[in-house]
Structure 1
Amino acid sequence: MRIFDPHIHMSSRTTDDYQAMYEAGVRAVVEPSFWLGQPRTSPESFVDHFDALLGWEPFRAAQHGIAHHCTLALNPKEANDPRCTTVLELLPRYLVKDGVVAVGEIGYDAMTAEEDHALAAQLQLAADHSLPALVHTPHRDKAAGLHRTLAVLRESDLPAEHVVLDHLNETTVEAALASGCWLGFSIYPDTKMDEDRMVEVLRLHGTDRVLVNSAADWGRSDPLKTRRVGEAMLAGGFTEDDVDKVLWRNPVAFFGISGRLNLSVEETASSHQGNSILRGGE
C-alpha cells in the first residue's frame, strides 16, 4: 500500500512518527503552514516557519524516505490578528518556490470579515501563481461555512477544480461534490471523521476527487490514519486499485496541478545548515 498524506503537520511530529509512517507505506506528504498554538507576536515568525517548511522539514523527511512538500498561507485563525495580516505582503516571494504545491490552509475559522478578506486575497494569489488552493472549512457551523466559502470562490479567478475543500463530513459532502471542487477528509481518533465513516462516504459518493488525510498535529491525532482508511476500505470490499486511487493517485493528481510535485527522495546529507539529526554523528 503506497500512501500520500495530503495534509499533515510534521513540524509537530517526532522522527519516530516518520519511521512509523514509512513502515506503514507513506512515501509523500504535504504540510500546510500552521498556527503556533499560541498567538504570534509578529509576521516575522511566519518567515522562520515558511523557511523551515521549505528547508529543514523536507530534509528531515528525506532521511526517512518520504518526499515532503508544503502549502503556505495566512491561516484563517490568524487572519483575525492584525499583528499577522501583513504576511499577505510576504507571501508572493514564497509562492514562487519549488517546494510550494498550493496556497493553504485558507478559509474560515470564526467566519469574520477579516477572514473574508484573507480568503479572497489568497485565492487571487493562488490564481496569480497558477497554484491550487487548500481550503479549511470551519469546525463549527460547517454547512454555513462551506456555503460562505463557495460564495467567495465563485467570485474568484481560481477554478473550482483547483480547490480542495478540507475537513468535510457527511453534512457537507454533497454540496462540496456539486461545487466541482476536490473533497478533503481529515481522519481523527475522536473528532472530525473516522475510518469507518470515511469508507461509508466513499461507498455512497465514489472515489473521484477525494483526498484522505490525517491532519496530524500536536493535538490528539494519528499520523497513521491514512493507513487505517486503506485497511478499512479493503475490509469493506473496495479493491486495491480503489485504495491506491484514494491514497496515492488522487493527491498526486491534485497537487500535480502546481507543476512542482517531486516524489523522488534524493537527500543523502547528514545535516541541514549545521543541524544534524544524527545527534553525535557516526
Structure 2
Amino acid sequence: MRTFDPSIHMTSRTTDDYEAMYAAGVRAVVEPSFWLGQPRTSPASDSMTPAEDTALAAQLQLAAAHGLPALVHTPHRDKLAGLRRTLDVVRESALPEEHVLIDHLNETTVKEAKDSGCWLGLSVHPDTKIDEERMAAILRAYGPEQVLVNSAADWGRSDPLGTRRVGDLMLAEGFTEDEVDRGPWCNPVAAYGLSGRLNLDVAATDATHEGNSILRGEA
C-alpha cells in the first residue's frame, strides 16, 4: 500500500522508524517545521487571540501571493469554536478554501470543515487525537474524498505507521482499494500538488561510506 504521510514529526523518530515506514509503503512525508524550536512556518492557532488571528491572516496572504496551499493547525482546546474562527479567517483571506488543509480535526469538527470545501486533515494518535477505529468510522460517515490521514507521531505514545494501519483496517472493514488509496496517497498528492512544486520522482542515492549516503570527509 503506497502512503504519503502529510503531517508527521520525524524529528521524534529513529532510523529504525524510517526503515519500518519504507517497508510499510511510505514513500513521502511532510514534516511540520515548528518542532523542537524550529521557526513556525505553517499557520496555527490554539488560544484564538487577536495576535493569532493576525498571524494566521498574514500567513494565508503569503500563501495566496505565492500560489501555495496552506496547512492550518486547529486549536487543541475548544475545537469547534476554534474551527469556526479559523474558517472565518480563511474566508476573509485571498486564499480559496480548496487550497487550505485544516488539520487535527475530529468527530466534533469534521462535518463543518468538510462543508467549507477545505481539505480535511485527520491525525492518528491513540492518546491525544484519533485511533484507527475512530478514523475508519469517520471515513465511513463522511467519505474519503477530501481527507488526508496522517500519523502525527509526536509526543506520548504514537506510531509512525498509523496511516498504514488505518488503510489496513479500512480494507478489513470492506472499503474498496480505491477508497483506501485516497486518504494515504491520492489526496495528499492532490493537496500538496497545488503548489506546482511537488516532485515524487526522486533519484536513488548511491551509498558513499559503509552503506551510509551521507558524504564524509568532504571540504
* 2:147 paired residue number: 210
* 1:3 paired residue number: 3
**SS where residue 116 of structure 1 aligns?**
helix
* Residue in structure 1 matching 2:108, options 160, 171, 193: 171
Runs of 5+ in structure 1 lacking a partner? 47-71, 74-103
Q: TM-score, normalised by structure 1?
A: 0.72
* 1:83 paired residue number: none
Whether 1:12 aligns to 2:12 is yes
Deviation at 1:267, TM superposition (A): 4.6
Q: 2: distance between equivalents of 1:242 and 1:35?
A: 32
* 1:65 paired residue number: none
- Give CA deviations for 1:24-48 in whole Å, capped at 9, x if unaligned: 1101111121232xxx5xxxx63xx
Deviation at 1:189, TM superposition (A): 2.2
1:16-31 equivalent positions in 2, closer than 5 A: 16-31=16-31
* Residue in structure 2 matching 1:110, options 33, 38, 47: 47
Deviation at 1:12, TM superposition (A): 2.5
Q: 2: distance between equivalents of 1:264 and 1:220?
A: 33
* 1:180 paired residue number: 117
Is 2:127–2:156's contact at 8 Å kept on the other side of the alignment?
Answer: no
Whether 1:150 aligns to 2:87 is yes
- Give CA deviations for 1:186-222 in whole Å, capped at 9, x if unaligned: 0012121111111111111111111000111254311
**SS where residue 150 of structure 1 aligns?**
helix
Is 1:13–1:218's contact at 8 Å kept on the other side of the alignment?
Answer: no
Runs of 5+ in structure 2 lacking a partner? none
Q: 2: distance between equivalents of 1:235 and 1:204?
A: 17
Counterpart amino acid of residue 263 in structure 1: L
Counterpart amino acid of residue 21 in structure 2: M
* 2:65 paired residue number: 128
Is 1:195–1:228's contact at 8 Å kept on the other side of the alignment?
Answer: yes
Please tell me the root mean square deviation across aligned C-alpha atoms, in Å. Answer: 2.0
Is 2:97–2:117's contact at 8 Å kept on the other side of the alignment?
Answer: yes
**SS where residue 148 of structure 2 aligns?**
strand
**SS where residue 200 of structure 2 aligns?**
coil
Deviation at 1:235, TM superposition (A): 1.1
Counterpart amino acid of residue 27 in structure 2: R
Is 1:9–1:34's contact at 8 Å kept on the other side of the alignment?
Answer: no
Which ranges of 4 or more aligned residues in structure 1 deviate by more than 6 Å?
none
Q: 2: distance between equivalents of 1:29 and 1:150?
A: 26
Is 1:107–1:136's contact at 8 Å kept on the other side of the alignment?
Answer: yes
Deviation at 1:107, TM superposition (A): 2.4
**SS where residue 188 of structure 1 aligns?**
coil
* Residue in structure 2 matching 1:137, options 74, 77, 83: 74
Q: How many residues align?
A: 214
Is 2:101–2:121's contact at 8 Å kept on the other side of the alignment?
Answer: yes
Q: 2: distance between equivalents of 1:180 and 1:240?
A: 24
Deviation at 1:178, TM superposition (A): 0.8
Whether 1:265 aligns to 2:202 is yes
Whether 1:223 aligns to 2:160 is yes
Deviation at 1:249, TM superposition (A): 0.7
For residues 276 and 231 of structure 1, do their structure 2 counterparts lie closer, same or farther at Cα, with a shift above 3 Å needed? closer
Q: 2: distance between equivalents of 1:12 and 1:277?
A: 20
Is 2:9–2:35's contact at 8 Å kept on the other side of the alignment?
Answer: no
Counterpart amino acid of residue 126 in structure 2: P
Is 1:137–1:146's contact at 8 Å kept on the other side of the alignment?
Answer: yes
Q: TM-score, normalised by structure 2?
A: 0.91
Counterpart amino acid of residue 22 in structure 1: Y
Deviation at 1:266, TM superposition (A): 1.6
More strand by share: 1
Whether 1:159 aligns to 2:96 is yes
Q: 2: distance between equivalents of 1:109 and 1:35?
A: 15
